[in-house]
Amino acid sequence: MCSLVRREAFQTMMAIPVEEWAGLVRAGEVRALSRAITAVENHEPAAEELLRRLFPFTGKAYLSGMTGAPGTGKSTLVDRLAAFYRKREERVGVIAVDPTSPYTGGAILGDRIRMQGHAGDADMFIRSMATRGFLGGLARTTAEVALLLDAAGKQQLIIETVGVGQDEIDIVRLADCVMVVMVPGLGDDIQNMKAGLMEIADIFVLNKSDREGADRLQQQLDAMLSLVMPRDGWHPLVVRTVASENRGIDVLAATIDKFREHFAARGERELKHVEYWKKRLVELLEARVLDKFLGGAAGDELLTQLAKEVAGRRMDPFTAVNQIVAKSPI
Amino acid sequence: MCSLVRREAFQTMMAIPVEEWAGLVRAGEVRALSRAITAVENHEPAAEELLRRLFPFTGKAYLSGMTGAPGTGKSTLVDRLAAFYRKREERVGVIAVDPTSPYTGGAILGDRIRMQGHAGDADMFIRSMATRGFLGGLARTTAEVALLLDAAGKQQLIIETVGVGQDEIDIVRLADCVMVVMVPGLGDDIQNMKAGLMEIADIFVLNKSDREGADRLQQQLDAMLSLVMPRDGWHPLVVRTVASENRGIDVLAATIDKFREHFAARGERELKHVEYWKKRLVELLEARVLDKFLGGAAGDELLTQLAKEVAGRRMDPFTAVNQIVAKSPI
């Protein structure tokens, strides 16, 4: 049933010209947007053309990133924050990234369950992403999906990701405002925090703050933050929430607003965006080159054959790379 | 004093032709080897030529990878294992990678302290790596340093890395045999283990196993391993050690030998190496392309300028990449 619906949407979108498709995405039409995201995820040829057409209409959404260990209640927190934005009549897009889950099917099921609370609300869009490809990072796909939602007129974008590795850190780096979620008693005290997460947090969310140990965790956080130098005039704040009871969500939203205003006034956001685009252009260049030199079955065959030569020490790796470049000049 | 010694070695090596340099590395000459590693770390032009010449003489060393949280006693364990191999009259190379440390100086100091126990032993080489570059991953540099040590005749290579992120997982993936070190009472019980580490471990080392909680941790590990399917006929083993007292090191070495024989007999090691070289060739291709298109100050200037255009939505990212490719064809 589910796959039938998806296939139908697929065929409908494939049948229309890209410019019309782009127009539907800009209008926020849900099927066109869903189909565009799938095109981006699968690296379909139409995706680039679509993104190119939509790009001039992006850059308006505010992108919040939320990360934290499993069990910190991120999904509930995101859900409540999204509902809060909807009450303010802002259009909301949520991208939930879980690279540890190998099942896209599970992600889709998750979307359906999560969307139930927002059934019939066309200005609330939730999408989960779980798959990780060989030639193209999850961070890149997430960034492109964010562009699509931005072009579709979503004003508040929330990216939610489980904070486990470099991939996830790259993903939250996309965000204008980075939130790290912690809960008392999960064993993830400050000392155990992922290297790299601490430095990128703009706001710490102390969720499940009615639990035992919340005060101690807050003290630890405060002690650590007292040692941290403000970054561009911003000193990271700690916000206490109990997402399951909708407590503290208003304070969290107000803190995000405060952070946004702080950087809007200082112009650092633009600088950050230039740094971000430098990195993205390098990634795009890499992807372009890989596709050119090693795309398709023939590319994989060539790569395997050369790797065998190198593994057997019959060829050195530099000569092998030269052969790849020589076979298909850009 | 330290920097003077280094500069002298630098100048000596720069003055000789690469083929002579390669010959000295193959002979295991310590200064030539140290200087070659520095050349690889700094991506000096001579490094590629050196690696190319040395490559046919590699593929003989056995590469063990050891990872675990800070405080598990990895360094002591590696030190004792290295000493054990030296007693068996095997030539040993150790690469200690700590990407969380921004100070190469600290790493060098660490080497000096660690080498004290092996002073005057030319067949024992220890090198620490701590820096992380922009255009070239730590995993790639580590792999190239391992090739150098391999060419220099080291028979047992041990890579030691703190297990924190994707980088570190990529590094231990290099290894023929992957060991994950755990200790009782550190809070890093099975549930909290880094995603991805559990799946790649061939041997679990339960270090500080004279501490309280060791039996419980072993039970947890055994329970978890009983649920795991053997990989290529190998079921991960747990070895208990007290590295500080040199206990269990012989059993650990014997277990590594057993693992090595298991895979030597089955030919899977070669398959693994082909997969490894496929990935490495892709990385080399990317590095080559980046250097070609965006190398030097001019490259960075072009990239910054285009990123500004894109951030300001005056150009879309695909057009920007086209401009990079157009400016300097391969």
- Provide the pLDDT confidence category of residue B97 given band limits of 50, 70 and 90: confident
Q: How far apart are CA A156 and CA A276, in angstroms?
A: 19
Write the residue in B55, B196, B282 that is nearest to A316 by C-beta: B55
- With contacts defined as CB-CB under 8 Å, which chain B residues touch A288? 321, 325
Q: Could you tell me if A109 and A78 lie in one domain?
A: yes
Contact A280 B317 (CB under 8 A): yes
- Please report the residues numbered 172 through 201 in chain A whose beta carbons come closer than 8 angstroms to any beta carbon of chain B: 187-188, 192, 194-196
- Number of compact structural domains in chain B: 3
pLDDT of residue B95 exceeding 60: yes
Contact A165 B48 (CB under 8 A): no
Q: Could you tell me if B75 and B204 lie in one domain?
A: yes
Q: Could you tell me if A47 and A187 lie in one domain?
A: no
Contact A289 B294 (CB under 8 A): no
B105-119 confidence digits (pLDDT tens): 444 445 555 656 676
Q: Could you tell me if B53 and B63 lie in one domain?
A: no
**Lowest-confidence region among A19-33, A130-144, B249-263, B278-292:** A130-144
Residue written as token pair 């035992």 = A212
- Provide the pLDDT confidence category of residue B134 given band limits of 50, 70 and 90: very low
pLDDT of residue B285 exceeding 50: yes
- Provide the pLDDT confidence category of residue B191 given band limits of 50, 70 and 90: very low
B269 touches chain A (CB under 8 A): no
Residue A157's pLDDT is: 97
Q: Could you tell me if B71 and B48 lie in one domain?
A: no
B116 touches chain A (CB under 8 A): no
- Provide the pLDDT confidence category of residue B306 given band limits of 50, 70 and 90: very high
Q: Could you tell me if B300 and B255 lie in one domain?
A: no
Q: What is the pTM of this model?
A: 0.66
Contact A55 B166 (CB under 8 A): no
Provide DSSP, B177-215: EEEEEE-TTSS--GGGSPTTHHHH-SEEEE-STTSTTHH
Provide DSSP, A11-66: HHHHHS-HHHHHHHHHTT-HHHHHHHHHHHHTT-HHHHHHHHHHGGG-S-SEEEEE
Q: How far apart are CA B14 and CA B7, in angstroms?
A: 10
Q: Could you tell me if A40 and A188 lie in one domain?
A: no
Show the domain range for A27: 1-57
Instruction: For residues A204-232, give the mean pLDDT.
Output: 87
pLDDT of residue B54 exceeding 50: yes
Contact B192 A187 (CB under 8 A): yes
- Provide the pLDDT confidence category of residue B37 given band limits of 50, 70 and 90: very high
Q: How far apart are CA A16 and CA A26, in angstroms?
A: 15
- Provide the pLDDT confidence category of residue B317 given band limits of 50, 70 and 90: very high
Final residue of a structural domain among A236, A252, A269: A269
CATH number at residue A67: 3.40.50.300
Write the residue in B167, B280, B319 that is nearest to A317 by C-beta: B280
CATH number at residue B34: 1.20.5
Q: Could you tell me if B197 and B305 lie in one domain?
A: no
Residue A163's pLDDT is: 63
Q: Could you tell me if A212 and A63 lie in one domain?
A: yes
Distance from CA of B278 to the nearest CA of A (A): 5
A159-190 confidence digits (pLDDT tens): 998 765 566 677 777 889 999 998 987 765 55
Mutate to test the interface with B, among A281, A305, A309, A328 (most CBs of B within 10 A): A281
Contact A307 B100 (CB under 8 A): no
- With contacts defined as CB-CB under 8 Å, which chain A residues touch B58? 313
Residue B80's pLDDT is: 95
B140-157 confidence digits (pLDDT tens): 788 899 999 999 999 999
Joined tokens for residue A72 = 């910190």
Final residue of a structural domain among B247, B267, B287: B267
**Lowest-confidence region among A274-278, B30-34, B78-82:** A274-278
Instruction: For residues B100-107, give the mean pLDDT.
Output: 45
pLDDT of residue B133 exceeding 60: no
Q: Could you tell me if A256 and A280 lie in one domain?
A: no
- With contacts defined as CB-CB under 8 Å, which chain B residues touch A304? 274, 278
Q: Could you tell me if B255 and B320 lie in one domain?
A: no
Neighbour count for residue B160 (Cβ, 10 Å): 27
Q: How far is CA B182 from CA B68, B188, B232, B301, in A?
A: 6, 7, 24, 46
Q: Pick the residue with more confidence: B272 or A90?
A: A90
Write the residue in A55, A274, A308 that is nearest to B308 by C-beta: A274
Q: How far apart are CA B69 and CA B58, in angstroms?
A: 31
Joined tokens for residue B173 = 């993936």
- Please report the residues numbered 7 through 46 in chain B whose beta carbons come closer than 8 angstroms to any beta carbon of chain A: none
Contact A275 B307 (CB under 8 A): yes
B65-79 confidence digits (pLDDT tens): 998 877 788 889 999
Final residue of a structural domain among B224, B244, B267: B267
Residue B174's pLDDT is: 81
Q: How far apart are CA B160 and CA A140, in angstroms?
A: 30
Q: What percent of chain B has pLDDT over 90?
A: 44
Q: Could you tell me if B251 and B285 lie in one domain?
A: no
